Amino acid sequence: MTDDRITTDSQLDEQARSIARDILEDIKQFGGDAYDLAHVYADGSQYVIYYHHAHSICQNCNTEQGEACLEDFGVGQNPTYDSLAVLIAYNELHSRILTELEKLGAE
């Protein structure tokens, strides 16, 4: 079994870049909205849906953007460490995907 956790900001940036490229290919082939697809890809990412991956991002990467989104979403009553890690990891990955899409010229 390989350890494919993200443990550095550069790894997280590369993952976001790869997803952004995939999104642009999907748009070329099938159409769609880059922002909506960024949500779909981030929400379905193994780095968001598996707690140990989300924890790794939270423990090893700069998560300022992900944490800032917690206020927008609200964390609900009695959040757990796992639920917070998932929210932060999702928001950080989503934000980085959007940044990469902008760099690649997506509208």
The full set of domain ranges for the chain reads 9-103
- Per residue of the chain (107 residues), give pLDDT as tens: 457 889 999 999 999 999 999 999 999 999 999 999 999 999 999 999 999 999 999 999 999 888 888 777 666 667 788 888 999 999 999 999 999 999 998 86
Query: Residue with structure tokens 């880059």?
Result: 34
Q: What is the distance between the alpha carbons of residues 45 and 38, in angstroms, rounded to a whole number?
A: 10
Q: Do the beta carbons of residue 46 and residue 53 sit within 8 Å?
A: yes
For residues 58 and 86, give the distance between their C-alpha atoms in angstroms, rounded to a whole number. 9
Whole-prediction pTM:
0.85
Cα–Cα distance for residue pair 49/54, rounded to 1 Å: 7
Q: What is the length of the chain? A: 107
